[in-house]
Structure 1
Amino acid sequence: MALSTPVTSVADICLAAKEAAGPLAALGSDVKDRALLAIADALVARTPEILEANARDLEAGRANDIGDALLDRLALDPARVAAIADGARAIAALPDPVGETIDGHRLPNGVDVRRVRVPFGVVAVVYEARPNVTIDAAALCLKSGNAIVLRGSSSAIHSNRVLAQIAAEAASAAGVPDGAISLVAGGGREELAELATQDGVVDLIFPRGGEGLKNALKAVATVPVIYAASGNCHVFVDASADLDAAEAIVLNAKVQRPGVCNALETLLVHADAAAEFLPRALRALDAAGVELRGDERVRAHAPAGVAVAEATEEDWATEYLALTLAIRVVDSAQEAIAHIGRYGSGHSEAIVTRDTASARAFQLLVDAACVYVNVSTRFTDGGEFGMGAEIGNSTQKLHARGPIGVRELTTFKYLVEGTGQVRA
């Protein structure tokens, strides 16, 4: 099987993936889908083995005091394993993007030109703490015809190893070439640098992690990189907002899972809604265990018994990934948009409003991968968008932006057909 072959170095693993990439790109949808369903079944069948490995990682994580947010990302339970398997099944049910005609036309000389989707070839995914990415990324790459080299962090080494082994074995048994799914152990920065410099072998790298990982790759990468970057996300409660909806959206965006990139980090409230909205919102957030940091006008509306610390300039620029929230009162939608433009990371931004003009201005002027009107930012997710799963959320503007699913894991080629035409 792919992971039990004798290759050990990063270069050898990448070369094995390169050898698998050609046959994999030519596989029919039936083989790829059969492999994905086999992976899902194997995950369910081997759940005890997965949880045993994950328990070892969690024990080490607590001993190393990695923090509640990372522990939450790291943790697996039967429901999460089942959800990962369901994601693989959902990806199997998606249309195969490979070979899809994007557009085409006939030239005046009778030559037909078509643009069709093709795999990248070898995709490397570098990620921190989240063992679910092992399967999500492998499944997305398999569906899109790409060989994948996985490089998880040391904090999830046991979980990643068993998950990758399960995926590789199930895929190989279903007819996928050996080497199509492989795992780099998760060693130090030297290993990362070697992976990021496999020119001509690795076609694209997706890092999924914090700013430290992003900066480490930026310093060394010679292979193209699409960054799944941080999320300093905002919700703006406009003057005309339905306050019941606003409270529900704010609580969901902040509290449901605070350690993820689409969670709310700064709440902006229109001055005309502040007196009515802030006391109830602050009370609800405080009851949910959120540490509150606000400007002077926010603190003036704090109800008795609810502590709101003074927000600093640093708070506006911080992705907390925890139950901490910065809050500011603004005088207009334009001021909210300007604040987001200055401090936002281009990930996910939301407005709660009943004013069509404010909603339209927010959609047009906020520069982010995902812009929401009357919806929680927590929906920025490949699964929620109907993609089955995602490798990450890109905040870049070239090639892929937002959730990266099977279509975003393809490039294209032009197929040109004629009847003997030559250029004059």
Structure 2
Amino acid sequence: MKLLSSEIKNKVLESMIKIIDGKREQILKANQKDLDAFNKDDQALYDRLVVDNHKIDGMIQAIQEVRNQEDPVGKTISDLTLESGLKITNKTAPFGTILIIYESRPDVTIEAAVLAFKANNKILLKGGKEALQSNIVLKECWHEALEENGLSKDWIKLLHLQREETREFLKNPTEKLDLIVPRGGERLIKFVKDHASCAVLVSGRGNNFLYVAKDADWDKTVKVIVNAKTNKISGCNALDKVLIDKHIPNYENKLVELQQVLSNLNVDTLVDKNIGQVIENAPTVSNEDTWYEEFLALKILLAEVNDEDEAIEMINKYSGGHSAAILTESNDSAAKFMEQVDSAAVYHNASTRFTDGGQMGVGAELAISTDKLHHRGPLGLKQLVTNKYYVFGDGHIRE
């Protein structure tokens, strides 16, 4: 694969900023067609589909941020000269071709592609049919920017494949694939993993937990729970499950207060059988599958635990490995929780909504990886490279 200079890549991004800004009306009209054709029953998916001027500003900002970041390709990781005189240099290198499969969000057509392109990867975009018109216009913006700078449109392609065609492409790709990143729910991730013939980097699944320790500051706790649950229900970093230590002072009163606060915000509350004895009007969890579920809705599950150990055990069993938080005034309890909970991001006295590239100082992100290889957490520009060894000899042979 041809390595592009940082200069030419940045010129493409500069062109892209101007093109998107100049085509706002065209982008908004295309998005309105998608919105008009969409079944609004799925509010979370609908929210992700909407493009307005604020979203377009966000696209432009993402491109600007990536344009200003250092090129991640060709950076020396290690440089050794052995006693034999053999010189071994390890450098960052592009993956090659990355396929990104995503649902609903047209802004991913910009944010994912800009990261992959700056890291010198060819990008194949497979957006959901619900965002087709929006994605077509955004793809045309990419192609205009590439051609304006003398590059082939093949660097960024939008795939138009039905489900069966996608399955066949994953099994028998018509061009070389090096990495697939599915961004979406569990069904999409399972579909890709079941059929892919190359590496898959799992991202997007939340099912995030928060544990309220017995010494938690209650005002702080309610504030964090409300933010983590209601700030953006369609976010993979939204809160789904709250585990409450039964030894907190005024336990029953606080449960009732929390349920009332959530009810006033139109949040549906599920409870386990123990909390159900206190909050009698709330439906009780009857199926263990609910514990594994990412809600993506104004819905939350409240459950009782005996102590921190039980909370850690439950989180490691049921969560999606995305984000988990502890509310406690004890640094020791927080340290134990954060070390033992197996999630990409762990929090002490803070909302899970901060698991985001921009919020964590990474910048624009391709996704939030819940895999452990090759990276976990926000996948920013620096994480979209692999590595390559360069070995220099002078007739060296291995004895």
How far off its partner does 1:307 sit? 4.4
Deviation sequence 1:213-247 (CA, Å, 0-9, x none): 22222332112211214211111111122222211
How far off its partner does 1:175 sit? 4.1
Q: Residue 102 of structure 2 aligns to which amino acid in structure 1? A: Y
- Residue in 1 aligned with 2:319? 344
CA contact (8 A) 1:206 1:226 kept: yes
1:213 aligns with 2:185: no
1:75 aligns with 2:50: yes
Normalising by structure 2, we get a TM-score of 0.94
* Count of residue pairs the alignment pairs up: 396
Q: Residue 126 of structure 1 aligns to which amino acid in structure 2? A: I
1:91 aligns with 2:66: yes
From 309, 328, 333, the counterpart of 2:283: 309
Percentage of matched positions with identical amino acids: 36
1:142 aligns with 2:117: yes
CA contact (8 A) 2:170 2:195 kept: no
Change (3 A) 1:278 1:363: same
Counterpart CA distance in 1 for 2:9 and 2:171 is 27
Q: What SS class does the counterpart of residue 396 from structure 1 fall into?
A: coil
How far off its partner does 1:196 sit? 4.7
Q: Residue 302 of structure 2 aligns to which amino acid in structure 1? A: I
Q: What does 1:33-182 align with in structure 2 at a 5 Å threshold?
A: 33-62=10-39, 65-182=40-157
Change (3 A) 1:169 1:66: farther
Counterpart CA distance in 1 for 2:357 and 2:151 is 24
Q: What SS class does the counterpart of residue 241 from structure 2 fall into?
A: strand
- Residue in 2 aligned with 1:31? 8
How far off its partner does 1:71 sit? 0.3
Counterpart CA distance in 2 for 1:98 and 1:399 is 16
- Residue in 1 aligned with 2:247? 272
1:359 aligns with 2:324: no
More divergent stretch after superposition (171-180 vs 125-134): 171-180
How far off its partner does 1:387 sit? 2.8
Counterpart CA distance in 1 for 2:41 and 2:176 is 34
Change (3 A) 1:411 1:59: same
CA contact (8 A) 1:88 1:388 kept: no
Q: Residue 148 of structure 1 aligns to which amino acid in structure 2? A: I
How far off its partner does 1:397 sit? 1.5
How far off its partner does 1:145 sit? 0.5
Name structure 1 gaps, 5 residues minimum.
1-21
Counterpart CA distance in 1 for 2:390 and 2:41 is 50
Counterpart CA distance in 1 for 2:52 and 2:113 is 20
How far off its partner does 1:258 sit? 0.8
Q: Residue 357 of structure 2 aligns to which amino acid in structure 1? A: G
CA contact (8 A) 1:199 1:222 kept: no
CA contact (8 A) 1:259 1:322 kept: yes
CA contact (8 A) 1:193 1:217 kept: no
Counterpart CA distance in 2 for 1:50 and 1:395 is 32
Change (3 A) 1:79 1:229: closer
Counterpart CA distance in 1 for 2:383 and 2:239 is 25
Deviation sequence 1:54-76 (CA, Å, 0-9, x none): 111111113xx551111001111
Counterpart CA distance in 2 for 1:276 and 1:97 is 53
Counterpart CA distance in 1 for 2:164 and 2:359 is 33
CA contact (8 A) 2:170 2:192 kept: no
Change (3 A) 1:354 1:198: same
More divergent stretch after superposition (263-272 vs 33-42): 33-42
Counterpart CA distance in 1 for 2:64 and 2:232 is 24
Q: Residue 13 of structure 2 aligns to which amino acid in structure 1? A: L
Normalising by structure 1, we get a TM-score of 0.88
1:282 aligns with 2:256: no
From 299, 309, 317, the counterpart of 1:334: 309
From 193, 198, 214, the counterpart of 1:223: 198
Change (3 A) 1:81 1:200: closer
How far off its partner does 1:195 sit? 4.4
CA contact (8 A) 2:170 2:197 kept: no
Give 4+ residue runs of structure 1 displaced > 6 Å after superposition: none
Q: What SS class does the counterpart of residue 61 from structure 1 fall into?
A: coil
Counterpart CA distance in 1 for 2:11 and 2:245 is 52
Change (3 A) 1:339 1:421: same
Change (3 A) 1:131 1:192: farther
Counterpart CA distance in 1 for 2:14 and 2:170 is 29
CA contact (8 A) 1:154 1:186 kept: no
Deviation sequence 1:372-410 (CA, Å, 0-9, x none): 122211111222223332222221112122222222221
Counterpart CA distance in 1 for 2:273 and 2:191 is 38
Deviation sequence 1:257-284 (CA, Å, 0-9, x none): 1122111110111112234542332222
Counterpart CA distance in 1 for 2:66 and 2:54 is 18
Counterpart CA distance in 1 for 2:113 and 2:375 is 18
- Residue in 1 aligned with 2:162? 187
